[in-house]
Amino acid sequence: MSEQINVLIVDDHPVFRQGLRDVLDTDDHIHVIGDVGDGDAALLSAHELNPDVILMDINLPTINGLQATRNIKAQLPNIHVVMITGYDDYEQALHALRAGASGYCAKDVTPDVLIKAIHTAANGRYIFDNKEMSKEEVDQWESQKISRFSGQFSNKSSGPFVPLSPREMEILEHVTSGKSNKEIAANLGISHQTVKNHMTAILRKMQVDDRTQAAVYALQHGWVRLDNPNK
């Protein structure tokens, strides 16, 4: 890593993005090279700008921050992502880690802690629970949290805490907007039975009884937005 850390900010609120810029400008080693307001723009900017670190909100238009992070890490594994979100809980942090994030901060984080998180991620380490960790330490942290919250997001056939796939997340977005399985199939160009299979997997992974419970959880945690212009 070079001495300068190039950072891309991804958040849909312009005022918050500017606030992050102002905070990061106080550190001589951090340079903000861009800021964008949705998940699709994050993917494009990651390829165009190749930042060292991305500050990524979870609750974004187009695709959410978890999906964007998973895609970026699959295509550009050298980019480090720090999730920054108003939905601060261990389950969200675990989803962020599983998506490939190097850190997770609440939006009420202090400037010093946020700057530390960026430096930590840029150095190839992890920061969760405001603690800097190695890969081995974050794996241990993950195991401890999974065992504590094993009552939810468990899958007896393939182990605990199975995150939703990109396709399952896409279907969940349509469910939250009130579409039926038939309408989802038509919109996505897949069969009705394929949608049903995905819904079964979604309910099993989330350990909920029906579509309504799944939609409520997704909305409460910022995975989907009712104002998503693409839905």
Fold assignment, 164-220: Arc Repressor Mutant, subunit A (1.10.10)
Residues 6+ apart with CB under 8 A from 66: 58, 83, 95, 96, 99, 163, 169, 223
Segments of the chain assigned to CATH 1.10.10.10:
164-220
Average pLDDT for the chain: 86
CA 87 to chain centre: 11
Per-residue pLDDT, 207: 80
Of 105, 22, 113, give the one whose Cα is nearest residue 58. Answer: 105
Which DSSP string do the residues of 23-67 spell out, in sequence order?
A: HHTTSTTEEEEEEESSHHHHHHHHHHH--SEEEE-SS-SSS-HHH
Cβ atoms of 11 and 41 within 8 Å: the answer is: no
Cβ atoms of 115 and 105 within 8 Å: the answer is: no
Tell me the pLDDT band of 2, cut-offs 50, 70 and 90.
Answer: low
Check residues 3 and 55 and name the one with the higher pLDDT.
55
Q: Which two tokens stand for residue 29?
A: 């080693």
Phi/psi for 127 (5° steps) reads: -140, 110
Q: Rounded to an integer, what distance in angstroms lies between the CA atom of residue 141 and that of residue 143? A: 5
DSSP letter for 86, please.
S
Least-confidence region, from 46-60, 81-95, 120-134, 190-204: 81-95
Residues 6+ apart with CB under 8 A from 67: 39, 99, 166, 169
Cα–Cα distances in angstroms (integers) from residue 128 to residues 15, 56, 58, 141, 165, in the given order: 26, 15, 16, 9, 23
Per-residue pLDDT, 162: 61
Segments of the chain assigned to CATH 3.40.50.2300:
5-145
Question: What are 102-140's pLDDT values in tens digits?
Answer: 999 988 899 999 999 999 999 999 999 889 999 999 989
Per-residue pLDDT, 231: 46
Greatest mean pLDDT range, 38-42, 154-158, 172-176:
38-42
Which CATH number does 5-145 carry? 3.40.50.2300
Q: Is 87 helix (H, G, I), strand (E, B) or coil?
A: coil
Using a pLDDT cut of 90, give the percent of the chain over it: 51
